[in-house]
Amino acid sequence: MLDDFMVRAALAGLGLVMATGALGSFVVWRRMAYFGDSTSHAAILGVALSFAFAFPLYLGTLAVAVGMALLVAWLTGRGQSMDTVLGVLAHSALAVGLVAVSFVPGLRVDLDAFLFGDILAVGKDDLVWIWGGAALVLALLIWRWQRLIAATVNEELAMASGIDPKFERLILSLALAVVVAIAIRIVGALLISAMLIVPAAAARGFSRTPEQMVGFATLAGIISVLGGLWGSLRLDTPAGPSIVVVAAMIYALSLVTYRR
């Protein structure tokens, strides 16, 4: 029988996958991978602030991630290039976060856990945050599904239908912020984007509808989590990176087996 910590780790990973399957598909469709990287890098600053002011970890990282999303939306709305804004903010936020960490006693030793994840240390309280955040993201995407799809396929046609593409982009940015906040304990700031992008990229070639791609991406994520935890247990490897390695293997397999 599995130990309690492995059961909690599996539940945490599956909770994350419930959100990344759908959201990751939009990230791939809209080419928002760099935005995911930028938001996850900024999460390190949220970790430092959480420890410095004794906030709950998820609350601090969520606040910084949401702030990042709103700042990007504001700067791009003022005519700044998206790539430039993301490049400046991603590296600046990561640098500020690492500097802030040096001023927080006791956090330096634990920094690897937030960079690469520590899913095996997830507790019952963490599961509440993870599943609650995943449910919030899913509810948000289901609520805006048709509008998000329309804005993704063709922004001009969406505008003609009365849909504001900028608002839908902001919805996705806020959903990404929530996922970053709940994923930092599972796969870490440096691997969050991989869990958003890789399963969705693997599912893309086998899907004919958006709903199929979400389903296949979720399935690929579930296999990645369970396979990565199994490999971590058997081979004594880091759990977070092991999950991403399995996801990468699924993507490689999809390239070999799929024929256009």
Identify which of 253, 238, 245, 214 has the alpha carbon closest to the alpha carbon of residue 20: 214
Instruction: Please return the burial class of 40, using the count of CB atoms within 10 Å of its CB with bins 0-12, 13-18 and 19+.
Output: buried
Q: Residue 258's pLDDT is what?
A: 67
For the chain, the domain total comes to 1
Q: Residue 192's pLDDT is what?
A: 86
Q: Residue 112's pLDDT is what?
A: 72
Q: 92 is written with which tokens?
A: 């600046």
**What CATH number does the domain containing 93 carry?**
1.10.3470.10
Q: Residue 131's pLDDT is what?
A: 93
Residue 212 covered by a domain? no
Domain hosting 159: range is: 4-191
Residue 102 covered by a domain? yes
For 113-134, give the DSSP string.
Answer: HHHH--GGG--HHHHHHHHHHH
What is the residue-level pLDDT of the chain in tens, covering all 260 positions?
Answer: 446 888 899 999 999 999 999 999 998 888 877 777 778 888 888 888 887 787 887 888 888 888 888 888 788 777 777 778 878 887 888 888 778 777 776 665 567 777 777 888 888 888 998 999 999 999 999 999 999 999 888 888 888 888 888 888 888 888 988 898 888 888 887 788 889 999 999 998 888 899 999 999 999 999 999 999 999 989 989 888 899 999 999 999 988 876 55
Q: Residue 110's pLDDT is what?
A: 64
Residue 248 covered by a domain? no
Residues 6+ apart with CB under 8 A from 205: 254, 255, 258, 260
Q: Residue 1's pLDDT is what?
A: 43
Residue 214 covered by a domain? no
Tell me the HSE value of 137 on the side-chain side, using a 13 A CA sphere: 30
Q: 41 is written with which tokens?
A: 């890098």
Residue 236 covered by a domain? no
